[in-house]
Amino acid sequence: MMPTAVDDDLLNETFAALASSTRRAILARLAKGAATVNELAEPFDMTLPTISKHIKVLERAGLVIRGQQAQYRPCELNAKPLKRVSSWAEQYRPVWEASFSRMDEYLRQLQSKTRDGRSR
Amino acid sequence: MMDIRSSQGAAVVIEHRFDAPVEVIWQMWTDPDHFRAWYGPEGASIPTAKMDVRVGGSRLVCMEVQTPSGLMQMWFTGAYLEVVENQRLVYTESMSDENGSVKSAADMGMPEGHPTTTEVRVELDAVGAGTRMILTHTGIPEDSPGAAGWRMAIAKLTDYLKARQ
């Protein structure tokens, strides 16, 4: 079903950034706490430059913030853009709720038909 | 422990109780004639609903909405992922043409990165003579290999988000 409204460019960026299992894994790791690029690269069979590229995509989408400590620049999760993803899904709620009220009404009609049929 | 259902950030979860047994509610979702009677937002009608309700079977639904510029038709296609009679129905949904060829969100004039495919999960439970239904509608990003990994990641992130609030 169609959502009731169309969303903004920021939401796009969030979805685009989340559309990668590597980047989602990185975010899941950061949900446990800040980490350096080296630490983030550890579980992956990928080169550091590749992991860095993924982190840059997440940074651009505002999902990751880099610390300013010169050497390590630890990565930290910024969960704010995820709220927009959450509200994107919420657009479907009124559409479904209208449908289910219609189903309630339809079920009542069916039930009264059945009752009429029995009483005859 | 958090309820896993409420922790799916990119999903909308709706619980609804019906005054009808699970067998009837199952029919509402899987019998095209019943489905057409209730599905869709206010003011929409469903002229077409084709459903091959078995795992891997396809579905094609047309929604008609009256707009100021005339009657607008929207087509949706998808496949059934789980079919457990009177208990659980899971299917995907994408916008399509009338032949069921998927159109990307961008084709439909929506911003790039907007999920082309969503997943609808219907879970039914008998409660007395009635039914408790839990509907979960999830957005799946375009190149995502499957919803499961996506949902797990989102669940963790949403836990994190809630812990911070």
Range of the domain at B118: 5-164
Would you call B145 an interface residue with chain A, using a CB distance cutoff of 8 Å?
A: yes
Phi, psi at B14, each rounded to 5°? -130, 130
* Most confidently predicted of B17-26, B50-59, B109-118, B133-142: B50-59
Tell me if A72 is assigned to some domain.
Answer: yes
Phi-psi region of B55 (alpha: psi -120 to 50; beta: other; left: phi over 0): beta
What's residue B67's pLDDT? 78
pLDDT in tens, A48-92: 999 999 999 999 988 999 987 767 788 998 877 776 666 667 777
- Kindly list the distances between the CA atom of residue B12 and the CA atoms of B78, B116, B138, in Å, as whole numbers in the listed order: 19, 16, 7
Give the one of A2, A9, A98 whose C-beta lies nearest to B74's C-beta.
Answer: A2
What's residue A85's pLDDT? 66
Range of the domain at A20: 9-90
Tell whether the model's pLDDT for residue A120 goes beyond 60.
Answer: no
Tell me if A98 is assigned to some domain.
Answer: no
Chain A hits for B14, CB-CB cut-off 8 Å, are 93, 96-97, 100
Q: Pick the residue with more confidence: B161 or A76?
A: A76
* Residue/partner pairs of A109-117 with CB below 8 Å, 24 or more apart: A110/B24, A111/B20
Q: Which residue of B has its CA nearest to A83?
A: B9
pLDDT in tens, A82-101: 766 666 677 778 888 889 99
Chain A hits for B38, CB-CB cut-off 8 Å, are 99-100, 102-103, 105-106
Number of CB pairs, chain A paired with chain B, less than 8 A apart = 134
Total domains, chain A: 1
Judged by DSSP in three states, A38 sits in helix
Is residue A72 within 8 Å of residue A90, measured between CB atoms? no
Average pLDDT over residues B113-136: 86
Tell me if A74 is assigned to some domain.
Answer: yes
CATH number at residue A76: 1.10.10.10
**Model confidence band, residue B32 (pLDDT cutoffs 50, 70, 90):** very high
**Model confidence band, residue B164 (pLDDT cutoffs 50, 70, 90):** very low
> Are A19 and B139 in contact (CB < 8 Å)?
no
Tell me if A68 is assigned to some domain.
Answer: yes
Judged by DSSP in three states, A86 sits in helix
Torsion B104-B108-B109-B113 (CA) sign: negative
Tell whether the model's pLDDT for residue B109 goes beyond 70.
Answer: no
- Residue % of chain B over a pLDDT of 70: 71
What's residue A25's pLDDT? 85
Residue A53, exposed/middle/buried by CB under 10 A (0-12, 13-18, 19+)? middle
Tell me if A102 is assigned to some domain.
Answer: no
Q: Answer yes or no: is the ipTM higher than 0.85.
A: no
Tell whether the model's pLDDT for residue B151 goes beyond 60.
Answer: no
CB-based burial, B82-105: b 16+ in 10 Å, e otherwise: ebeebeebbbbbbbbeeebebbeb
What's residue B14's pLDDT? 85
Distance from CA of A51 to the nearest CA of B (A): 18
Tell me if A105 is assigned to some domain.
Answer: no
What's residue B160's pLDDT? 47
Total domains, chain B: 1
What's residue B34's pLDDT? 92
Give the one of A19, A82, A88 whose C-beta lies nearest to B144's C-beta.
Answer: A19
Tell me if A100 is assigned to some domain.
Answer: no
> Are B24 and A107 in contact (CB < 8 Å)?
yes
The average confidence (pLDDT) of chain B is 78
pTM of this structure: 0.62
CATH number at residue B115: 3.30.530.20
What's residue B110's pLDDT? 59
Would you call B54 an interface residue with chain A, using a CB distance cutoff of 8 Å?
A: no
Distance from CA of B131 to the nearest CA of A (A): 12
What's residue B132's pLDDT? 93
What's residue B22's pLDDT? 95
> Are A98 and B141 in contact (CB < 8 Å)?
no
What's residue A108's pLDDT? 93
Tell me if A99 is assigned to some domain.
Answer: no
> Are B153 and A27 in contact (CB < 8 Å)?
yes
